[in-house]
Structures are given as structure tokens and as C-alpha cells.
Structure 1
Amino acid sequence: MPLTLPRRLATLATLATSLLLAACTTVPPGGDGAPFASFVVLGEDGAAVARVLTQAPACPAIVRDGVAGPMTLRAAPATIAQRPTASPPELSKPSVFDVLVCEAALPAGLASATVLGRPLPLPHAEPRRIVVLGDTGCRLLQKEDSFQACNDPDQYPFATVAAAAAAWRPDLVIHVGDFHYRENPCPASDQGCAGSPWGYGWDAWRADLFQPGAVLLQAAPWVVARGNHESCARGGQGWWRFLDPRPLLPGRDCNAADNDDRGDYSDPYAVPLGADSQLLVFDTAATTWRGFKPGDAGLAHYQDTYRKLAALAPRARHTIGVEHHPLLGIGADLKDAGKLRLLLGDAGLIQSFGAINPQLLPDNVELMLSGHVHLWQQVSFSSGHPSQFISGFSGTAEDIVPIPDPLPPGTSPAPGAVIEQLSAWIDGFGFMTMERRGPESWEVQVHDQHGAVRNTCQVRGKRSVCERTRVQ
């Protein structure tokens, strides 16, 4: 529908703010001239952890409510020997992490916290405005012959997306995974990605997340879900050093392939949202959409994940699941001489969770937030399943195969899941927002890369409805 004049003016104002902020996403120097990145992640029970990444010789002080204190060294600079990865050995290399990773707890009730004069975003007891985004890295993958134009802000617009999301002034940011994509070197003849860092070290992580996402990292605390691009055979070393809110432990760091059974899995945790609501965050980095073979260790790991989710779920009446691989989503691609193929749910998770609970999730899980499929999508069900939202459209090269409208009769992402509405946006970059309207009610809006609203949905309990079934 056409925008009214006030909405057009608001959109133009947001665009101007986004472009200004996007131009300021360099990582600025600290007090000794060393560049640094700072952000806050929320972990178990909502515990807030401040992180600083710096090339300074020592961790800086943190000032909490006017009182200075030391930060703890989480990880020292290191070069990690080359290990087996998702790429052939000639397209892999050692991981160079030439930054200190420093951290400090932020106790509940703080009025202020700063590092090197920069304010840190503090958590809200009851966040009302939430940004949801995912799949933000720039794709450089030789095995798929897929090289995104990382140097073109229109073809890789994560900096613009992050700036527009920050301008929306969120209380909380949820990233649903796949932060890192610069795995292999850009071909010499490709000017679109010429000069891009690659591999799994700090330079690639900085280019994919910490530089383009700087303003959003400073805007609000983050809840982070781990994607398959952060598995141990890919960007898992950086995941554990930089992002996971839990302690960094030897053997759970993805440095040695012999420890991958430990490094590729982690326990779920709850983040309270106030108003008898919570997030349940769980790690699906090592699942497989094809399903597990008999005896595969992943099956037991994810059954254990389900049991722990079921134990955490009763802590609040209203629960939102946060993970990377959509249990209840639908994608599409062209295989077999251009024939359309629908990609339904995630077979590994459905197989694991479904063996314990045919409904797949604890009963009070009302909403699922995921990524992995490079589009925006909403699916609501009449069968008692939670609404599924996919927000995997924030920077990585987009999926471009349309999902049929209407779907073929009987299409379902999982056994017993009966679709009553599906809304999607294919081949468009942006981010999603959630604004609290009540204990079990949210208004969801889909924003393009400049912040303009392209769709609006209402969520009440497990069911949701959107104004548009297809965004053009």
C-alpha cells in the first residue's frame, strides 16, 4: 500500500540517520590509541557480561556506577594451528587472534557502566522493543562458488541494516546466528570482494561483525544464538572467544578437532524478559537438515537439549525459543534441472525432539525465532504449534527462489503441524522488530535495510497474523 506523507517523511528521516550511522562504524581507539570493540551479551538467567576486544597490551578498567575496577582476561592473543575445517586444507589456514578478549560482569541494578569513556548498554528488566536479525556475514565460499560483493554496500548491506536497527532504539537485540561467512579467499579476478580478509581469525570476524555491526553492538545488550557457521569446523573458535556468554574453557574452544564433540554442543539457558516471560536460547550449530543416521552422536546430544529445555520452560508462563535452524519454517530451492524443492523444517531437530515430544517443544513455548534460511518468514499454525519467525535476511546473500503461494495442499514443516498462515519476504535485506503489547502479545514489524516498514504482524499466544502474506 502507498505510504502517507508523514510515513514517507519518517522513512526518509530513518534513512538519513541510518546512512549517517553506517558511515561511523569504524572501531575507534581507546585511551592508549589501540582500537577496541565493546558490547554486552546476556547469558544464563539474564546475567549481563561486558566484553572488550582490543589490541592494547592489557585489559582496560571498567567503571560501574562511578567505581573503577579491572576487567578479566577471557582470551589472550594467539595463533591457533590449522585444523580440519569445512573447506579443503589448501583453502584453510591457522586462525590468528591478535586481540585481547576482556570481560566483566554487570550486576543487576547498575545505573551506568563505561569502558575507556564509552557507555555500555545496560539490560532492561522488561525489554519492550526488541530487534531480531541474523545471517549477517558476507558469503565467501569456494565449495559453493559463491562470492558475495563484500565491498558493495548494496549487495552486502549489513552496516546499513545495523545502523537502521540501532536508530529504532531497541532495548534488546537478538541475533539468531551465522555471524561469520568469510571462509575462503576471494578470487583474484573478483573485484566485488577484492582485498577481503578470510579464514576464521580476528580479521575476518572484525570485517563480518564487529566493524559493520558496531553501532548496533553499542545500542543495546545482545542475546546470541549459535549458527552452523559457528560450528567447530567453521567459525567456532571465534564464537567461543568472542560471543558465547559462558566461560571459555580449554577443550570447549574448537581449537582441536579431537574435542569437537564437546565444542560443538552446549546447554540451553533462559533469559528473563519480565511480565512472566522468558527467552530459551539453545545451540543447534551441529544439527543436520537431512536427519541423523542411526548411532549419530548428534541425536543423543539434541535429545539432551530437549530435556533441558523442558526443565527450563516452567520458569515463566510465556516462552520464546531462540535458535538458528527453524524447526517449523519453509524454504525453497531449485534442484534436478530447475525443479522446485521445498525445504521443510529441520530433520535433525524434528527427529531428536519429536522422539520425546511429538509437538516438538514444551507447551508454553509460544513463539520461535530462527535464521538459517536467508529470508524473512512468519508461519502460524492451527495445530497448537508455536508461531515460527525467520529473520535470516540481514546481510548474507539472499535466497531468491519464491515460496509457492498458495502452498501445495498438505505442505507441513513437521509431522502434525497444520499451517493456517504463511507470510514471507524473498530477496530483500532488513531486520525484524518486536514491540510488546501485553504478556503474550507482540507487534512484529519487518523493516527493509533502511528501516522502512514492509509488513506488520500481530502475535497473540501461539498464533500470529500478518497484514501481507507476501512482501514485494
Structure 2
Amino acid sequence: MLLSTLKRGAIALLLTGCAATNPSPPPDFTSYVVLGEYGAAVARVLIDAPACPAIVINQHSQPMQLRAPAQTIALRATPSAPADSKPAEFPLLTCETPLPAGTTSASVLGRALPLPKAEPQRIVVIGDTGCRLQKSSNSWQACNDSQQYPFATTAAQAAAWKPDLVIHVGDYHYRENACPDGNAGCAGSPWGYGWDAWDADFFAPGARLLDAAPWIMARGNHENCLRGGQGYWRFLDPRPLLKGRDCNAAADDDVGNYSDPYAVRIGQATQLLVLDTANTTWKGLKPGDVGYARYQDLYRKMAALSQQAPNNLAIAHHPLLGMGADRKADGSIVLLPGDAGLQAAMGSVNPQYFPPAVQALLSGHVHLWQQASFSSGHPSQFIAGFAGTSEDIVPLPERLPPGVTPAPGAVVEHFSSWVDGFGFMTMERRGAQQWHVEVHDLQGTIRNRCELDGRRSRCEVAQVK
């Protein structure tokens, strides 16, 4: 609900620093820090107020800049029928300020902001965190049940692990359609692509983890322009918000659905390469398709960035080198390879799909945890899409059958998975090319341990039970 005129006046006094005998308490707001190109940190604040607040950096106060105003965006094409859609309402300001290198303290309205470390040692990896409400698939997750939608628990446990950095591999928003009448599991849930659904799906349950460390916010298919792209560009992407790249008008989708990769240095000659794969398709892409050319270009720009450091970890929502599973009508199980669209486009430039300096790919999209390592020289694949969204429950084999591969030319050497279990993944640096990886459940118990050394990885347990 928007604030009353009287309350807005009181907040205006607070935000402008005017003296008052009994100043009003600060308004409720959301704050976080996102890392972008070259590791530049940006402080963000989402607030229902007449103006952006001040930010205090190294004991010096300055006004925050307006990234996006409060507004209601006209209904545009979505995956749903118009009767099952509505305009996206954003009744609050998105404010931001770059944090200069060497910042030692930063706060907004008395709340301290987490600051980036030059060489983060402890990294949390999560993905696919929203609560699925989707009419087209008749999927109605019980958002009101913390056992069936446990992202708040996942976030709290991950925050308690005290990370230096959080990586979200995409798919934040899932509340697309209204909960059916009589469904107690999701009754009363916000829905659509406006702030109320974004808050319920991501910002409110993720609050403790947002406070714990800076984030890298990769983009998933649920954030393409047909779906939650407006909120993604407004809230999460670290780069400037540009007209035409904001997903507000369907005519601009060929711009808004794609963006260039960027690199975040994390010390010890290591980079994170963040890739936007929001608009790929598992059905495949072919020459002449817009996406085919865009993802060829994505590969070339990623390859150029990878030359800036000897060690790189790529982050892309869609796993090129991972496996999924589905059940046929007769009950038999079919194994599903990695994303065919990206394989076609990126594989046309390099049959290995990634440049030599990329050690591993961190992904989501498949709602489980998975690791795969290859004798064919491909980078290791980790999937961490198990933080909150309805889990995939079709079992994967403990060992892949001979000849089964997630991508043409990729020969699986080691494979590990956890199906139908919620949690989060962590990575601890052990050396320039060495990482210790752990898989945690909702109680914080470690369910698997893995080692990544160069491009190869191996886990203690082939299949978490």
C-alpha cells in the first residue's frame, strides 16, 4: 500500500536530513549490493518514499541516484492469456550508488551494507528460488508452507555459513498466475510481474542472505522479457537501466532479451564470467535465428574476457553440460541433455563450448544439484537449482549409461547428483585453480563434498540419498 501524504512528509524530512524534535522512524526498505562489470560494486535501495535516501560512504553522506521511478507499466505480451495477466506495478523507487574501490563502510538509514572483498574465499551458490504458480503447467507450489517452499530457510542457512560472496544462477521469479480458488497452499499469494510478487518470491525470503554479502545476479529464463524481465532490469542487473533494454515494450524485446557478458575479478588471477542466457531454448537454435547470432556473439565476447585472467569460472543459468530427466507416459525415464540452443550457437564457434581458460560452469534451470566432469577436456559443470522452486523428482542414474552425454563431444568421467532435496552449494578457495565444494541441506548438514582442480572435479558421493 502506498504511504499516506502525511507519512510521506515525515519521511521527506528524514531523507533530506532536516531536523525534527521527534523524527519519524525510517520507512521499511530493501537494501543490497550487486557486483557488475570489472567487479564494480553498486549499492541498491528499494523504498516507498518521495525521494531516494542518502548513503553514508566512509562517514561521508551523499544522495543516492534514482535508477527507476515508481510506476505501473502497461500490460504487455506474457506467456499467459491477457485474462491471466495484469500490468506490472512498481510502487517504490529503485535507488543506487556506485561504491568506490577501497570503501571501508557504507550504510543507508542506519543499516550497514555488505562490502566486497578483493579475494573472496567463501562463496554461496544458489538458484531457482521462487515459488512456482503457473497455470499453463498446472503447477501450484504451496508458497504458504515453509517445508514445500523453503527459500527463506535456505537463505538463512546460507547466511549463517558467512559467505564473502553470493552467486545466484538465475530464476528468481515464479509467481506468474493467480492461485486457484480453494487452494490453501498458495491462497493469497501475490502474482504477476510487479513488486509484490518479486518481494514475496525473492526479496522478503532472501533478506538475511542479501544482508550477508554482495551478490552476483545472473539472469534466468524466468527473467526474459515475456516474464520477469522488467523486474530483473529494474532491480538486479548491475548495469545502467536503459530505455529499450527494460522489457517494458514488446517491440524492444530483441534488445531487452540479450546483454553482453561481464567479468568480476575475485583475486588469485581468477575471474567470474557472467553470461545472460535468458532467451535461449531447449528446442535448439539455427542460423538465421536472432538468438543464434546473439549467442555466437556472447561466446566471442566471453572468450575475449577470459583472456584477462588465467582462471575463470563461468556463470550461466542454462547448463550446457548437465543432465535432466523426465518420465514418459509409459513410466519409463528419458535422460535429457544440456541446453540445445546454446550448444548449437556456442558450439558453432568452439566445439568445446567454452574457451580454454574456463574451469567450470555454474548453472541452475534444472531443479536439483549436480556435478559432471569430463575426460574430453570440457569444463566441469555444477548445477545449483535446488534452493526453493518445486524440485525435479524424476531420479537420475547413479552412473550415466555408456554413450550418454549432456552435449555432443563431451565424455563424462565423473557424475554426481542430488534429486528431490532443497539446499545450497558452497565453494571455498584452496588455490588458484582449486576449490572445495560442499552441498548443504536445509538443516545445514553437508550432504556431499567435491573437489574442483583445473577443469576436472570429483565428489565423495555419486548419488545423495
- TM bucket normalised to smaller: over 0.9
Equivalent of residue 405 in structure 1, options 398, 404, 417: 398
Equivalent of residue 112 in structure 1, options 105, 117, 120: 105
| 1:468 shift after superposition | 0.2
- Which residue does 2:122 correspond to in 1? 129
Aligned-partner Cα distance in 2 for 1:313–1:152:
43
- Which residue does 1:348 correspond to in 2? 341
The code of the aligned residue for 1:441 comes to: Q
SS of aligned partner of 2:212: coil
**Structure 1 residue 45 and structure 2 residue 38: aligned?**
yes
| Equivalent runs, 1:357-368 vs 2, <5 Å | 357-368=350-361
Cα pair 2:352 2:378 within 8 Å, conserved: yes
SS of aligned partner of 1:378: strand
| 1:336 shift after superposition | 3.6
- Which residue does 1:211 correspond to in 2? 204
| 1:32 shift after superposition | 4.5
Cα pair 1:32 1:56 within 8 Å, conserved: no
Aligned-partner Cα distance in 2 for 1:435–1:47:
22
> In the TM superposition, what whole-angstrom CA distance separates every residue of 1:18-66 from its partner, at most 9, and x where no partner exists?
xxxxxxxxxxx99644210000000000000000000011111000000
SS of aligned partner of 2:430: strand
**Structure 1 residue 414 and structure 2 residue 407: aligned?**
yes
| 1:100 shift after superposition | 0.3
**Structure 1 residue 324 and structure 2 residue 317: aligned?**
yes
- Which residue does 2:374 correspond to in 1? 381
Aligned-partner Cα distance in 2 for 1:424–1:406:
10
TM-score, normalising length from structure 2?
0.94
Aligned-partner Cα distance in 2 for 1:456–1:151:
32
| 1:418 shift after superposition | 0.6
Equivalent of residue 176 in structure 1, options 169, 175, 181: 169
Cα pair 1:176 1:224 within 8 Å, conserved: yes
**Structure 1 residue 88 and structure 2 residue 84: aligned?**
no
Aligned-partner Cα distance in 2 for 1:146–1:366:
36
**Structure 1 residue 250 and structure 2 residue 243: aligned?**
yes
Equivalent of residue 437 in structure 2, options 427, 432, 444: 444
Equivalent of residue 179 in structure 2, options 180, 183, 186: 186
TM-score, normalising length from structure 1?
0.93
The code of the aligned residue for 2:45 comes to: V
SS of aligned partner of 2:342: helix
- Which residue does 2:4 correspond to in 1? none
Which segment is superposed worse, 187-196 or 331-340?
A: 331-340
- After superposing on structure 2, the runs of 4+ consecutive aligned residues of structure 1 that deviate more than 3 Å are 29-33
**Structure 1 residue 285 and structure 2 residue 278: aligned?**
yes
The code of the aligned residue for 2:109 comes to: L
Cα pair 2:398 2:416 within 8 Å, conserved: no
- Which residue does 1:148 correspond to in 2? 141
| 1:294 shift after superposition | 4.5
Aligned-partner Cα distance in 2 for 1:416–1:231:
29
| Equivalent runs, 1:288-307 vs 2, <5 Å | 288-307=281-300
- Which residue does 1:11 correspond to in 2? none
> In the TM superposition, what whole-angstrom CA distance separates every residue of 1:123-153 from its partner, at most 9, and x where no partner exists?
0000000000000000000000000000000
- Which residue does 2:60 correspond to in 1? 67
Aligned-partner Cα distance in 1 for 2:83–2:52:
35
| 1:178 shift after superposition | 0.1
- Which residue does 1:311 correspond to in 2? 304
| 1:409 shift after superposition | 1.1
SS of aligned partner of 1:38: strand
RMSD: 1.1
- Which residue does 2:448 correspond to in 1? 455
SS of aligned partner of 2:324: strand
> In the TM superposition, what whole-angstrom CA distance separates every residue of 1:347-392 from its partner, at most 9, and x where no partner exists?
1001001101011100010011000000000001111111100000
The code of the aligned residue for 2:447 comes to: R
> Runs of 5+ in structure 2 lacking a partner?
1-13, 16-23
- Which residue does 1:198 correspond to in 2? 191
The code of the aligned residue for 1:137 comes to: G
Aligned-partner Cα distance in 2 for 1:219–1:334:
39
| Equivalent runs, 1:257-268 vs 2, <5 Å | 257-268=250-261
Q: Higher relative contact order at CA 8 Å, sep ≥6: structure 1 or structure 2?
A: 1
Q: Percent identity?
A: 66
- Which residue does 1:17 correspond to in 2? none
- Which residue does 2:268 correspond to in 1? 275
> In the TM superposition, what whole-angstrom CA distance separates every residue of 1:271-311 from its partner, at most 9, and x where no partner exists?
00100000000100000111014421100000010010011
- Which residue does 1:26 correspond to in 2? none
Aligned-partner Cα distance in 2 for 1:406–1:457:
16
The code of the aligned residue for 1:222 comes to: W
| 1:339 shift after superposition | 2.7
> In the TM superposition, what whole-angstrom CA distance separates every residue of 1:321-344 from its partner, at most 9, and x where no partner exists?
001000100000113433312110
- Which residue does 1:54 correspond to in 2? 47
> Runs of 5+ in structure 1 lacking a partner?
1-28
- Which residue does 1:165 correspond to in 2? 158
Aligned-partner Cα distance in 2 for 1:328–1:353:
12
The code of the aligned residue for 1:119 comes to: A
Aligned-partner Cα distance in 1 for 2:328–2:151:
29
SS of aligned partner of 1:438: coil
> In the TM superposition, what whole-angstrom CA distance separates every residue of 1:235-284 from its partner, at most 9, and x where no partner exists?
00000000000000011100010000000000000000100000000100
Aligned-partner Cα distance in 2 for 1:92–1:132:
32
Cα pair 1:182 1:208 within 8 Å, conserved: yes
